[in-house]
Chains A and B, each alone.
Chain A
């Protein structure tokens, strides 16, 4: 932008009437970003890009898709075979769902490792969990639309969860279905809501960003910037870094779209939905598997124990649903369950280990969700079934949040924190005390 040119005059004219340029300047150029962000900080903007890709491809797919039980499956096949580049757009959308969850899971676990949910970022974290919940609902309804066997039976199993609610369960389930089973009214409303929800996500993303720009980005050291020497403008430094990561991400994404488009899918979903025949093995999409394992992990005798505690109306089904809901809702309480004042896992020698154990625990839960509960874990030892493994890992999942994190924050001795972000950069890693903060900023 040359000074005093016509361009600048137009910009000024617009800006005094609608401050869009100063807003962008404020959000991108002036936004002071910690100078030490690693590539783990790319995944927020990556998730934003995938959301845009999903909305763009989704709007196009809706131009060719027919939300009717008699025609949905065929209209998707028509997109695949007859619509110009329909196969490409559908594969981008289909794999985009998986990519979205991969990116968001990395974003989420990054937040967990670096304590990004801690004061003053609790609401930022909450908004993230809300986005995650909306994503799960959106992806679930989208998966129903092709009206294959997994679409139908996945929809049946998940909507039936609501029938576990005491007293109103049946009424709520019929209300969701618009009938007595998953049928055309269900498909119609899922299509409508699948179109709506991404825009709700956009809305919450805006709040997420407002909260981010208020509390500012966290960073791998987990300490607050002390002054201008600790930060750099978002543009061009992080626009470049984010764009490089975006390029790498698009390569991986394209490999799936072009060379393994059905890698994340289930072959059964290429069989048209049949309400009279359940597939031998119903599996949800991979990103739900840990929660599916938790849902199935609640045993009868555990329910007996709950009943003994006074929860008379609870049966095994309801207890499973409550446990699964709790496994996600516990994330809202995380900022208060983690009692440590130190944000970054880098300076928490014991937490660091528990973080990786927790990650492994979630991965094992995912494996449990993909197998039948009565299947033996090891082919050479019949006595240990996936149900038992899921129960152990479910118990650990909750123990991590409800026991380990609260206690660990009190008893762990964290490593000494650096005095500032710029100090290791400007002083070559030696600790020279607070005087480093007075140093002028240099290009890193």
Chain B
């Protein structure tokens, strides 16, 4: 094999190796370039991404009432908290929390708690939005699937969920209207 491929100057083998490497690299690059569209097509499409934001009127939500609205295919919990609930949320020491976050960082206005109502464990909708539903040991929300307890600030306190219920990007347009997303 070596004899037939060796060029008169004796450098043929090296040159052939180089050509093989270069061809393989070019082909590899080509395969990767073609593969990417087939991988990326599974990511959220432009129209899915465009379903960005919703406006919610808060004036109809009484103190102590909790409301769910749909945003990006999942519920957003809006909780008009009572002073007692706010006090309970603010009194918790950060050292007691699995995912330490002060209540002030989670609620733009203490009376209004806005967060994505999807359990951070495996994506169930926690109970506690409707009156009479189990609210868990900390008076917030309770996920029935695998037993995660959230407090009145939506922070994980007990159970398998790794983190607090996430706060979506939102802004107060007026005192009684917010835009989520």
- The answer, yes or no, to whether A161 is at the interface (CB within 8 Å) is yes
- Chain B residues with Cβ below 8 Å from A182 are 73
Whole-angstrom distance between the alpha carbons of A318 and B162 in the complex? 9
Instruction: Indicate if the CB atoms of B72 and A278 lie closer than 8 Å.
Output: no
- In the complex formed, the residue of B with least CB distance to A171 is B43
Contact assessment for B123 and A160 in the assembled complex, using a CB-CB cutoff below 8 Å: yes
Contact call B121/A317, Cβ cutoff below 8 A: yes
Contact call B146/A178, Cβ cutoff below 8 A: no
Selected contact of A276 from candidates B42, B70, B121, B162, CB within 8 Å: B70
Q: Give the nearest-CB partner of A316 in chain B.
A: B160
Task: Judge whether A217 is part of the interface by a CB distance below 8 angstroms.
Answer: no
Beyond A157-B122, A178-B48, A181-B73, whether A317 also contacts B144 by CB under 8 A is: no
Q: Is the CB of B45 within 8 A of A180?
A: no
Q: Among residues 67 to 103 in chain B, which have CB atoms less than 8 Å away from a CB atom of chain A? A: 68, 70, 72-75
Docked pose: A6 CA to B146 CA in angstroms: 70
Is B124 an interface residue, CB under 8 A from the partner? yes
Interface residues of A in 179-196 (CB under 8 A from B): 179-183, 185, 189
**Most A C-beta atoms less than 10 A away, residue of B44, B125, B160:** B160
Whether B125 pairs with A277 at a CB distance below 8 angstroms is yes
Given A275-B73, A282-B124, are A185 and B162 also a contact pair (CB < 8 Å)?
no
With known contacts A180-B72, A281-B144, A157–B42 Cβ distance under 8 A = no
> Inside 8 A of A280's CB, which chain B residues have their CB?
144
Q: B147 an interface residue at 8 Å Cβ cutoff?
A: yes
- Identify B146's interface contact among A174, A177, A296, CB under 8 A: A296
Q: How many Å from the CB of B24 to the closest CB on chain A? A: 27
Which one of B45, B118, B121 has the greatest number of beta carbons of chain A within 10 Å?
Answer: B121
Instruction: Choose from B70, B145, B161 the contact partner of A157 (Cβ within 8 Å).
Output: B145
- Pick the contact of A174: B43, B124, B144, B145 (CB < 8 A): B43
Tell me how far the C-beta of B150 lies from the nearest C-beta in chain A, rounded to whole angstroms: 14
Contact check, A278 vs B73: say whether CB atoms are below 8 A apart: no
Contact A278 B144 (CB under 8 A): yes
Looking at chain B's contact residues, the main secondary structure is loop
A159 to B123, CA, bound (A): 9
Cβ-defined partner of B160 (8 Å) among A153, A159, A317: A317
Residue on B with the closest CB to A318? Answer: B162
A404 at the interface (CB under 8 A from B): no
B124 close to A189 (CB less than 8 A): no
Task: Please tell me if the beta carbons of A181 and B72 are within 8 angstroms of each other in the complex.
Answer: yes
Query: A312-326 interface mask toward B, CB cutoff 8 Å, 1 = contact, 0 = none?
Result: 000111101000000
CA distance A375 to B146 in the complex (A): 11
Residues of A within 8 A of B44 (CB): 174, 177-180, 185
| Chain B nearest Cβ from A162, distance in angstroms | 11
Complex formed: what's the CA distance from A183 to B74 in Å? 10
Interface flags, B102-125, vs A, CB<8A=1, else 0: 000000000000000010011111
Contact status B160-A179, CB under 8 Å:
no
Give the chain B neighbours of A179 by CB distance below 8 A. Answer: 44, 48, 72-73
Is A316 a contact of B72 with CB atoms below 8 Å? no
A97 to chain B, nearest CB (A): 23
A245 within 8 A of B: no
How distant is the Cα of A366 from the Cα of B162 in the complex, in angstroms? 25
Contacts A179-B44, A180-B74, A185-B48 hold; do A282 and B162 have CB atoms under 8 A apart?
no
| Contact in complex: A176, B42 (CB < 8 Å) | yes
**Interface positions of B from 111 to 157, Cβ below 8 Å from A:** 118, 121-125, 144-147
B125: nearest chain-A partner, CB-CB: A278
The answer to whether B123 touches A156 (Cβ under 8 A) is: yes
- Asked if B145 contacts A278 (CB within 8 A), the reply is yes
Docked pose: A368 CA to B126 CA in angstroms = 22
Q: Could you tell me the distance between the alpha carbons of A315 and B156 in the complex, rounded to whole angstroms?
A: 13
CB within 8 Å of B: which A137-177 residues: 153, 156-157, 159-161, 164, 174-177
Contact partner of B74 (CB less than 8 A), chosen from A164, A275, A317, is A275
For the complex, give the distance between the alpha carbons of A289 and B122 in Å: 16
- Contacts A157-B123, A317-B122 given: A181-B74 contact, CB under 8 Å? yes
A315 in contact with B73 given A157-B145, A282-B145 (CB within 8 Å): no
Smallest Cβ-Cβ distance to A189: which chain B residue: B42
Among A176, A275, A318, which residue has the most Cβ atoms of chain B within 10 A? A275
Contact of A317 among B48, B72, B147, B161 (CB under 8 A): B161
A418 at the interface (CB under 8 A from B): no
Q: In this assembly, does A261 line the interface, its C-beta being within 8 Å of a C-beta of chain B?
A: no
Residue of A at shortest CB range from B99?
A315
Bound: A315/B162 CA distance, A: 6
Most A CB within 10 A of own CB, among B42, B70, B123, B161: B123
What B residues does A156 contact at CB under 8 A?
122-124
The residue on B at minimum CB distance from A321 is: B122
A161 to B120, CA, bound (A): 10
**Does A82 lie at the interface of the complex (its beta carbon under 8 Å from any beta carbon of B)?**
no
Q: Are B160 and A276 in contact (CB under 8 A)?
A: no
Known: A178-B45, A296-B146, A315-B162. Is A157-B73 also a contact (CB below 8 A)? no
Contact digits for A279-322, partner B, Cβ 8 Å, 1 yes 0 no: 01110000000000000101010000000000000011110100
B162 with A316: CB separation less than 8 A: yes
21 contacts between A and B (CB under 8 A): A153-B124, A161-B122, A174-B43, A178-B45, A179-B73, A180-B48, A181-B73, A181-B74, A182-B73, A183-B73, A189-B42, A276-B70, A277-B125, A278-B125, A278-B144, A281-B144, A282-B145, A298-B160, A300-B160, A317-B121, A317-B161
A-B interface, 4 closest residue pairs, ranked by CB to CB distance from nearest? A181-B73, A160-B123, A315-B162, A180-B72
- Contacts A178-B43, A316-B162, A317-B160 known; 10 new A-B pairs at CB < 8 A: A156-B122, A157-B122, A178-B44, A179-B73, A181-B123, A185-B42, A317-B161, A318-B162, A372-B144, A373-B146
